[in-house]
Every structure is written in C-alpha cells, then in structure tokens.
Structure 1
Amino acid sequence: MSGTTVGGTAGPGGASGALLGRLAVLREGVAALVERRSDGDPTAADPLRGLYVTAETARRLAARPSPAASGEMPEDEAWVGEAAGLSVDRVGVLAGRFGLSGLDLRVLLAALAPDVDRHFEPLYGYLNDDVGRRRATVALALELAGTGPHEPAARARFHPAAPLRSGELLVVEEEDRPLPSRALRVPERVVAHLLGDDGLDPELWGAGVELLPPGAGAGAGPDAAGGGDERAFFGRLAALVGERPIAVHLRERRAGAVAGPVTDEVRRVGLPVLRYRPDGSQDGSHGDGAGRPVGALVREARLRGAVLVVGPLPERAGGLVRALAGREVPVVFFGSEPYDPGWAPEAGLLALDAPDGAVAAADVWRAELGAVSDAAGLGAVDGEFDLGAAVAPYRLAAGQIRRAARAAGALAAFDGTPLTAAHVQRSARQQSAPLLDRHARRVRPAVGFDGLVLPSEPLGLLHELVQRARHREQVLGGWGLRTGGGRGRGVVALFAGESGTGKTLSAEVVAGELGLDLYVVELSAVVDKYVGETEKNLERIFSEADRTDALLLFDEADAVFGKRSEVKSSHDRYANLESAYLLQRLEAFDGIAVLTTNLRANIDDAFTRRLDLVVDFPFPDAEQRIALWRSCLTAAPCADDLGLDACAKEFELSGGAIRSAAVTAGYLAAGRGEPVSAEDIRAGARREYRKMGRLVPDASPLWD
C-alpha cells in the first residue's frame, strides 16, 4: 500500500516519505551539533542545564532513528532536487515554485521539523538553552544550515520581502526579541502539503473559494464552451496563463458568461483552478495584500501550481486586484466593470473584452439535457417539444446551460414526468438570477395567445415580436445584420392604444410565449425630482435587464420617453438631457423591452425610430366585445342566456373595463349563491360606465 492516498494524505512512500527522508538528514545534522555542544561543555553534566534535558538525553534523542523514514537522501541532493528512490518530493517542487534557495530550504526544514517529529522539540530546547523554547530560532536554523545571523545574506532570508516570508511559508514570531532569538513557525497548511495532503486550506473554507482539479472539465463535449471563435479565445487564454504567472482582466457583457469557459479550458490543459468569489459587500481594500483570504489564496495557488479565477469583482476592486496581481501566480479577473489602469499599474495587467458568452445554444442544451435525461432515466429529450424554440430567448453561457440542465432534470424527476419545455424554461430563468425586483414588479405570465382578443394585424405583430426575440442572435449576430455605432442586440417595441385595450396583457402573453418573466417598471420608483437621479435609476434597470433574460415593461412610457421641447428654462434643459440619455441607452440595449402609452403622439420621434415594432391596439368593436365577455366568463358558472350580444352592442367598453365588469358580475352572483345572470352582467357594465363618468343607459333590460 506504499504511496497510496487515504483521506487526501499520501502514505510513507509518497510525499511524506520524501519529507521524512529529508528530516532524517536534518536529524544527523542535529546529532552532530549536539555532539559538538556537549563535547567539552563544562555544564554538560549539570542536571539543571536546560532545566532537565541533559547532554546524555540529547545524545540519546539524536541517535534515535527517524520514524517511518522510507529511504535515505544522498548527501549531494539532501536539500535541493528530487529525492532518490522516492516517488514524490514536494519539497523540491515547492522550491521551484517559490524560488527558494538551498539556504531557504534548510531554514524551512529546520522550522517545520517539530511539526512532523515531536522528538525535535527537546533537542531544540537543549540547543536553545531553554526547554520552553522548543521551536527553531533564527540563530539555530542558520547554525544548522552552516551559517549564522552575523552573515548579511543569511539575515536577508528573513526579510518580509524574501521568498520564505512573502510566500507565507514561514512565520517569524516574537517581534519584540532580537532577530537571532526569534522563533520560527511553518503554517500548518504548508506542512500538510509537504506531507502529501491535497485538501483545501482550512483558512479558505467559507471564504467563497472552490478547488477544481485538472481534467477535461465538466462540459458535455468538445464544443461545450460555446462557438468556435469563443472556444478559440478561451483556449488561447488558458495556454497563456499556463505558460507564465500573468494577470488578466476580462470584461464580461453578461453575468456568468466568463467563469465557466475559462475554468473549463484551464482544466482541460491540465491545470487546477482555484475559483474565488469575492464578497460583493467588500470594498476590495485588502490593506497590504496579506489579508485573508488573499494571502492564503495566493499561497494555495502557488503550492498547487493552480490558476486563480476571481470574480465577479466588487464595485471597488482596486485593493483586491493589487493584492493578487504580480504575486507569481496566474490570475484571471472578470466582471462587468471596465478595466481601471489604476488598479495595478506595476503588475502589467492584461485587459481583454470577453466574448458575449451567448452561444448557438440548442446543440449545447440538447447534449446537456441528454446526459441528464439518460442518467435519471427521464426519457427522450426534444421528443414532445421544440427545444430550439424553447431555449432561443435565453442568452446563457455553457456553464449556465449545464447548471440549468441539471436543474431541469431535477424538476422533471420531482414531477415524475419526462422533461418538458416548462422544466427547461423555468430552470433557465433561474440561471439569469435577475435583481430587477429591486426596481420593478415581477409578473409570472399566466396568459397565452388564446386569451387575447385582437384584430389580425396587431396579433400578427405580436407573433413577429416573439420571433424577433427568438432569432435575434442568429440574425443580428450570426448573419451580421446589426448596424455599427455600438448598437446592442435588444428588441424594443411600442404598444400604443387607449387604456384597457390589452397592451399590458399582450406584454404578459409575449413574455409567457418566450418563457420569460415580465418585469413592470414602477415609474414612481424611477422618476426623481433631483437632477440626474432619474437617469441613474434607469441605468440600474437597463444594466440589469441587459444581463438577465426577462421582458421589461415600461408602462405609461411617455412619462420618461416624452418629446423634447424648446429650452425655455433650466427644467426644460434637464428634461432634454434625460431624453438624450434614454436615446443613447436604447441604442446599446441588449434585452427585450416593451413601452406602452395611451398617447402615441407624446412619444418623441427619435425614440420611434429606434423601435423595432410599433403595435397599435384599437378600441374593440362589438364583435370583439362579445368575444371578450365570453373569454372573461369562461370558467364562471353562468345562466343559460346572458344576452352578451345585446350587452356588447349597448355598452362600449374596452377589454380592461369588460374584465372589471365581469368580476363585478361574479361577486354579485357569488353573494346570492347562484350562477352569473344577465342582470349581473348588465349591473357590472353599468358600474363601469359610472366609473368613466358616462351616461348610464336605462336600467330596464333590453333583452328577453
């Protein structure tokens, strides 16, 4: 069983055996030093020397063989290089990764010896002339290494900028003492690593750090990282960070589009990854860079030869970037914020714009869902629904698709059914993790196209809006039909019509058809009397909508998208600035938005030019009003003859008013414990007429 790993720790024939072999050589040096100290020492026979460790005791301890030592180290390779006859020598590897000299290694081994072999403690107590000081001091470590604190070069190895201390391999304690008598300690994580323990540093537990071992990654196939260009980009990046300790900043356009592909490609080239998610509440100021978990994180990456993938960066990321960049470890930062040259000017940070992260996703979805379905026995994927159409509205990166596929499989298993479009779309919405709830009201769509009563023209335009949202990546991206000037890939439509004609309901239907949530922007939470605050509030909404998959609805949009006017006062000037900002923001918008207005003439012509579709919602005619009444009363218990034809002709109500009248009729019938009657319908319609301030027709029924 030699060399096997149990619980993450190599056996005596592995890394621990190599370390014990080196300590056996150190023991010989300690024995020789004890012999020199005791020979000719007039106090050697004093039973109180070192309190109770006598020379004879020290000789006996020094002569004791090293426990579990599996081999001897050749003298010329005792400190640097790979141990002869041992399969793993982590000390030699550590020396290369941290740039340690032979003297550094001697000091390090002298300092860690008591942490591995307790018999070093009384020996060090004897050599320190104080049984209470059972760790190596600076003077003792240097003496064991064949030099002393009188040598400037030797003292320099304990400088905070020297490899041992800057790499956090060695702690020099007792700052109040002179340097020669200060005690040395090696952090437990370093000792454990040299013994073969591959577990994550306990200091990093609960700090947002995840260890991902090298391998093929978690992708479903060779194209899991996305399209060819995107895969090539991340492949070049992985090769670069694998060659040298470079710091890279990737600006991502959509949240979650970078971490997965970077991690997969780095692992694919055979390197482990330490994925660090900084707490978004931190300001990024980590002092001198040695704060936790930054110091332990850098040390862990260097011990493992790992690549750090850090992000998304907090709002003020300067301190964090300075702490991690230029630390002899490859690190990839990412986030939506643009690169700031002041973050780490001395580190030579390479700033790149990441690909969009949106992929031709149907094949990736099919592969991931197929793997999940096969593993769980959920049946064929894409057998009962069009997978391409179901996932087209979602702009997810490969890693997000992978997580969404697992979540969809779990939902299907919970329901006890094969995978459906609803399972896939629900899991995809969860991956967007929208934060729009802070600024808008979420509506879960519950109405389909069969619930709409509209003329053929606006109904056809709504279907076209759905198609634009589904195929925008192909048309604007793949086919290159997006114009220049920094225009985004967003889809923006204007719904114009009188109140109650179905504008908001239609937006809900479009969102439901796309499998998206609808977010209604509360203008009361957006418009602010202070100059510039309205634009800031709108920017937060637009930025979040850009990064998530949802349909954004600006109800009564003329409140913020109104016409610009001639400047006659400071109020006019600032109002025009607000409109100018919105014009520019719509140009770069990447999401899906619907603006509604009761007065189309109030919308600035410049906004209209930037709209993809304008849908006019006419006031319903008599035939449409009949259909609306029937649609509203579909699930309600009704009398045989409701006289809907006559009611629709008599009362000219919009769809919203008909809905309210039907609700009133339902309450009247429920109060009597009877089905809805013609009188209830008429009473509800009359109620709506009164609310609108219109003349109410005679209360006598006009139908039999």
Structure 2
Amino acid sequence: MNRKVDEVRTDPPGSTTSDPAPNAPEGPPSRPDPALPLLTRLAALRERVAALVDLRSADDPTAGDPLRGLHLPEEAVGHVLRGPGRERDGADTDAPLLSSQPVGPADRIASLTVRMGLSELDAALLLIALAPDLDRDFETLYAYLNDDVSRRRATIGLALDVCGLSLLDAGARDRFHPTAPLSWLGLVRVGEPDAPFLSRPLRVPDRLAAHLLGNDTPDAVLDGQIRPLPVPQVPPGAPDSAAAPAGTAPPGAEASLTHRLAELLAEDSPPLVYLRERREGDGLACAVAALAAAGRPALHLTTAAKTPSSPDSADATPLPQLLLEARLRDCAIVVSPLPAQPAELIKALDVGGVPVILTGPAAYDPQWCDPDPLVLDAPGPRSDPAGLWAEALGLEPAEDPGFDLAATVAAYRLGGDRIRRAAHSARGLAALDGTALTAAHVRLAARQQSASGLEQHARRIMPDVGWNDLVLPETTREQLHELAQRARHRERVLGDWRLSAGGGRGRGVLALFAGESGTGKTLSAEVVAADLGLDLYVVQLSSVVDKYVGETEKNLERIFTEADRTDAVLLFDEADAVFGKRSEVKDSHDRYANLESAYLLQRLEAFSGIALLTTNLRANIDEAFTRRLDLVVDFPFPDKEQRLALWRHSLTHVPCAEDIDPAPCAKDFELAGGAIRSAVMTAAYAAAARDSAVTSEDLLTGARREYRKAGRLVKEIGSW
C-alpha cells in the first residue's frame, strides 16, 4: 500500500498569503519569523520521509494491517526472511542531504550549524530528530517506519535511512557517539542505552526547539541560578574603548588587564580563566568590563546554587542545561564566587567551546583541573570610583547630583556589580522619601551592600553623631580629620602612587586612641565612621579571648578576614587585653601569650580595612604595634573651658531653668566628658520625676554623684 503524504503548509498558523489591503496603515517593519525557515526545512524532510514510506510499503504484506506495529504476524517475519536485508529500503543514496544552507534571514538552524561547527550530516540528523517536536504528523510517519506505534520519535536506524546512509557505515554511526558534536554539545540525546544501537530513540532538548522557533527564555531549571550580564550598547562609530562601561577601564594596570582579557575572549577558542580577587566583587567587575570590551554577552552563575557534588544533588545546578543555554545564546559563563570545593564544577564547565571565567578569593589549586586555567590577579577597587557610581545612578557626564558624589563614595570599595545594586537601592530610597537623590541615600544603600558576618563577633553601631558632637582640643580634632582623609584616599596614595611598603602589606588604616576613661575615644570613633558613611563594629573581647591555646588567634582571624571584605570601621575597645606588651618567657603561658602578639603584628600588616584601638594607658600597648599604626591620637583630660563646653553641649536638648549655670560645676568638679554626660542624665531624671526643668541644683547633685562613684571626696559648695 502506498501511503501518500499531503503537502505541508509553509505559512505559520493564522497567516495569510493574500496581499495587504491597499489602505492598510504602514506599521514598523515586522521582524523575520524564525518558524518560516523551519517550516521550509520540514517540507523537504517530509518529502524524503514520504519517499521512504512509499518504498517500505510497496512490498510490505502487512502495510494494511490495522494492528501493524503491535504484533509480529507470520507474513511480516517471512517478508523479512525473504528480503535481501534492510539495506534495500534506504533512501536514494545519490540524493543530496537536507541542505544546511540558510533559508531566509531568520534561519536559526543554519546559524547554529555554522556557530557550532556542525557538518551537513549533523544538521540533517538534528532536523530529523527535531521534526516530531514541531509537527505531529511525523510521529505517525516515524511510528510506521519504526514498525512500532510506541516509537514515535526518530531512531538511529531511521535517521540513517532518511539520510540515505548505510546502517553499517562506521562513520555515520559514529555521529551518535557521546563525544561526537551532536551529543557532546547537548543538541541531540540518545536514549535507551540498553536497546539495540539502531533502535535507540533520538530526542532534542525542549530548550533547543524553543530557541530555533525564536524563544530566548532560559530553561526553567536554571531559574534563580543564573542571570544575564548584558553588554552595554555602543553607538555606531564609537571607539573600541567605548565598549566598556564608563569608569571600568581607567589608565594603568586595570585597563591593560581588561584589554588583554578582552582580546582573549574575542578569540574562537578562549582559554578557561580564573580571576583571583583580593576583595569580593573585584573579579566580577573585571570580567564584566572585559566581556563588554569584547562585545560578548555572558551568563552569571552564582554558586549559592549547589554544585553536583553537594549532598542534596537533586537541587544541584544543572550544568548540561547551563552549557546548552550558553551555546544557544553564544554567551560566556561567569562563575562568581567559586564554591569551597570547585573541582567538579570546573571539570564540568571546562569542555571547550564556551568561554568560562571563574572568580574567587582562594589561591588556585592545581588539583582543581588539568590542564591549568589562565590564572590572573583581578585588579582591586579604583581609587576614583565616582565614574562608576555616576553611570550606575544614571547621571549624565556633566550632571550635578546636588552633592559631592566623589567625597560621598570615596570610602567604599565596592565592585562594579555591587555599585550597580547599591545605586538601584539608592534610587528606590529616594523614591520612597519622595525627594531627590541625596548623599544619605547613597551612603545607606552602600552600607547595605557591605552587610557582613562581623555581628557574630562585634556589636554593630549605626553612627548618628557628627563633628559638632565632639568637644576636643583643636590638635586632636585635626588628627581625627586626617584619619578620615587617610581612609578616603588610601587607594590613590598606596595604590596609584605606589607608596605601599610592599612585603604583602595591606592598604588598611590603623589608629590608636589613647586617653583616660570618658575623654571621648569611643565617641570619636563613631564620628569618624559617620563622616565616612560606614558602620562601626565594636569587637566584643568576650567573644575573642579564649583560654585554650590558639583559639584567640582563630577568632581574631575570622574578624580580620570579615573586616577585609566589608566597608566598616572596626573598633577594639580596651585594646590592652589583646594588644598588650610581650613579656619575658618564663613559662609556657608566656610563650603562648607572645605567640598571640606575634600573630597580631603580622595580621595588622596585611589588614586592608579600617581598625581603631582604644586604651586608657598608652604605655600598656606594645611598641611593635605602635610602629605599625598610622596615627596615635591622644585624648587629654579636659580643662575648665572644655569642661564648661561639655556641660553646655550635654544640655543642648534638655529643658533647663532660665537661671541655670553649669560654670560652677565645670570649675569645681574635674570630670571627663563621659562623667559629665552621666551627671546631666542624673539631673535630667530628677527633673523628669518632678515634671519640671533642670536646675543648677540638679546639676550639682549629678556632679557629686559622679565624684562619689569615682571614690573621690565631694567638695561642699555653697549655695548658688
């Protein structure tokens, strides 16, 4: 029985071939429909399949059996035994294969063939495997040719028959080997490995079928695990340097590295690259800049998504789907940050054909993969990040945001991706307030991007004070201003101007505040943090010092490591407990105590954050620590004029009687700023209990209370 096959309609459903109405309005030019070239190719495939069906049914005694494919009648077995073999009913071997030349301007299967280096035979086999997913008629045709109504997909034998190839052709059979392009690239999956080779079904991933039809939505299994890293649009005629985002390629080593990496990524077979970063985000920012300069889009895989080696591998990142997505989009893959055990992830991604950039802070381990990737040190944060912030905030090059953007962001060491996220948050905060963008919005958003694990070992303080809250000698205030300036400009001075001492030393800012209790050391640290727009973390010594040998150093290492990657001010209050003097070794306890001090000396030199130490007695701090400090700020005990200023400042927001005069208290009671504040609080509580204003007598009572607390004699003062 001859089975005739109807002509396939090449117009997509709902379309018409009639001319448009004469008076129809002219709209924008329509984009080419990727389905049209596929329909054209399916029509050609249908003709070849129809010829094979006709050839098979011509002398098949069971062609008209309604149960054909469900059982094996005696006539079918006899027909096989009498025939010369399956080679007889292959398609015409002299007929050309299905053409892989482009059919129309939106022929995605042709562009895929060229981009992935497929042969004409590979393209034909791919179309044969894909056909049932695009046209249900092929299910019926394939089931007939497979002699099995349950096999509605192409099998290896059927595909070779349609292509007119011998089933014994070793080269043709090799196209389905796991290392052959179709399988290795994830374009065709061969199922049922236990079935006879020629009967194994061929399946095309749904994502590939959707891509060929013009759908660029990522595979659903990748939701929440990847995000695109878009390439900035470059105006026609713009220079090559314009491909990188504004501020991502400054003069110097960073620009050179970005340019060289961009050249590698533009090659046909770029190597696997590992960017080691000193600080989280540096490697990702460098990778984004290089990809933009190379004009290559990328997919960002965050390894918060689990790798296949994770215990709950059911939730692991589907790496085959990720690689297929990258190949279909002609994208690179950026992995940031690397997981703790990256060997299996790297092995799965290092398959060639897809550019892969890995970023992370860990030193490269040769055990990760073989051959070794190209290992590069990612450049650190820029000394002038204002350009990156301006672009992320959507500001024009000459636009004035209404505040000093450069001074506002100078203290932050965020990478390009973190800056983009912080800028988005800052704009959201401004919209919530219903105001224009301000420096406060930018600083709050930047601090949110610096959230860290320091709160496990330190108490977080969100500064709410300013320089006006300090009552200090002018020399001390100048040193505090200098400390803030050092924190802002350390990248320029130590990095760009190469004034770092070398030897693996960090770019941190270290200062010691020395003075009696209550002289304003902790308050000054909070003011400096507020001026820089950073949070203040006060280290809890109870969570650091441990009686067991080596545990204190481990706790300190966790704190320093976290502070290195966080934009914050670290305060060691009462630092004598940790940074005390080394002593002569008389027993094992002295030796281990000295080891702790030696560790701290080494760690401070490699520290890149901002750390402040306070002590009531400067002589208690080891001189070796003092040499490594940038500043030593002395906080003298306040004299009479400063005490009066402190009394008046503490009473600024307190309701006071008209005749109140704190001058006698400032003259007769030698109290530091902290004690004066406590005295004012005592007076304020007394006034609140009476529901009246604070009087001079209340201040006198508070001052006497502080003297008694300190164990000092209270001088009796006559009536005021």
Tell me the TM-score normalized by structure 2: 0.86
Indicate how the Cα distance of structure 1 residues 367 and 114 shifts in structure 2: closer, same or farther if over 3 A, else same: closer
- CA offsets per residue over residues 73-125 of structure 1, 9 Å max, x none? x9757244x22x52133323333444434443333222111001110011111
Deviation at 1:471, TM superposition (A): 2.1
Deviation track 1:545-591 (CA, whole Å, cap 9, x = no partner) reads 22222111111112121222223333322222222221112112211
Matches within 5 A, 1:517-536: 517-536=535-554
1:288 to partner: Cα distance: 11
Q: Does 1:241 align with 2:265?
A: yes
The equivalent of 1:66 in structure 2 is: none
The CA distance in 2 between the partners of 1:473 and 1:12, in whole Å, is 50
Measure the CA separation in 2 of the matches of 1:349 and 1:487: 27
* Structure 1 residue 561 corresponds to structure 2 residue 585: no
Instruction: Give the direction of change, closer, same or farther, for the CA distance of 1:180–1:571 in structure 2 (3 Å limit).
Output: farther
What CA distance in whole angstroms lies between the structure 2 residues aligned with 1:286 and 1:101?
Answer: 40
Distance 1:171 1:11, change over 3 A: farther
How far does residue 692 in structure 1 lie from its aligned partner after superposition?
2.5
Residue 671 of structure 2: aligned partner: 653
Deviating more after overlay: 174-183 vs 483-492: 174-183
> What's the counterpart of residue 132 of structure 2?
114
Q: d(CA) in 2 for partners of 1:188 and 1:271?
A: 25
Distance 1:455 1:213 in 2: 54
User: Which residue, 49, 52, 63 being the options, matches 1:30?
Assistant: 49
2:98 to 78, 84, 97: 78
**Cα deviation code 1:521-564 (max 9, x no counterpart):** 11222222333332222222222222222111111112121222
SS of 1:484's partner is coil
Report SS of the residue matched to 1:450: helix
* 1:419 alignment partner in structure 2: 437
Tell whether the 8 Å contact from 1:466 to 1:513 is kept in structure 2 after alignment: yes
Aligned to 1:63: none
Counterpart contact for 1:280–1:314, Cα < 8 Å: no
Bigger Cα displacement from structure 2, 602-611 vs 270-279: 270-279
Give the aligned partner of residue 6 of structure 2. none
* 2:247 is aligned with 1:227: no
Match of 2:214 among 179, 192, 196: 196
CA displacement 1:595-654 (0-9 Å, x = unmatched)? 111121121111100000001111222222221111111100112333422222332222
Q: CA RMSD in A?
A: 3.2
- Counterpart residue number, 2:463: 445
1:628, 1:658 within 8 Å by CA — same for their partners in 2? yes
Q: 1:260 to 1:286 in 2, by over 3 A?
A: farther
Q: CA deviation at 1:655?
A: 1.2
Selected match of 2:354 from 315, 325, 329 = 329
Helix, strand or coil: the match of 1:560?
A: helix
Contact conserved, 2:393 with 2:427, CA < 8 A, in 1? Answer: yes
Choose from 64, 72, 85 the match for 1:45.
Answer: 64
- Pick closer, same or farther for the CA change 1:373–1:630 going to 2, 3 Å: farther
1:703 and 2:719 aligned: yes
- The answer as to whether partners of 2:249 and 2:258 remain within 8 angstroms in 1 is no
Distance 2:230 2:70 in 1: 51
CA distance in structure 2 between the partners assigned to 1:168 and 1:283 by the alignment: 18
> What amino acid is the match of 1:627?
A
Bigger Cα displacement from structure 2, 681-690 vs 547-556: 681-690
SS in 1 for 2:719: coil
Change (3 A) 1:611 1:547: same
Structure 1 position 492, deviation (Å): 0.5
Count of paired positions: 669
Q: 1:101 to 1:236 in 2, by over 3 A?
A: same
CA distance in 2, matches of 1:25, 1:437: 67
Instruction: Give 2:532's match in structure 1, choosing from 514, 518, 542.
Output: 514
Deviation at 1:449, TM superposition (A): 1.4
User: Which residue is equivalent to 1:276?
Assistant: 301
Give the alignment of 1:319-358 within 5 angstroms.
Answer: 319-346=344-371, 348-358=372-382
Q: Tell me if 1:474 matches 2:492.
A: yes
Q: TM-score, normalised by structure 1?
A: 0.87
Q: Structure 1's 359 and 18: CA in aligned 2 closer, same or farther, altered over 3 A?
A: farther
Secondary structure of the 1:639 match is: coil
Aligned to 2:335: 310
Distance 1:291 1:158 in 2: 27
Separation in 2 of the partners of 1:75 and 1:371?
62
SS at structure 2 position matched to 1:228: coil
CA distance in 2, matches of 1:585, 1:279: 29
Q: Does 1:20 align with 2:39?
A: yes
The residue that corresponds to 1:371 in the other structure is: 395
CA distance in 1: counterparts of 2:648 and 2:443, whole angstroms: 31
Range 644-653 or range 455-464, more displaced: 644-653
Distance 2:507 2:57 in 1: 83
Tell me if 1:395 matches 2:413.
Answer: yes
Identity between Structure 1 and Structure 2 (%) = 57
Query: What is the aligned counterpart of 1:580 among 578, 595, 598?
Result: 598
CA distance in 1, matches of 2:587, 2:288: 55
User: Which of residues 532, 537, 542 in structure 1 aligns to 2:555?
Assistant: 537
SS in 2 for 1:240: helix
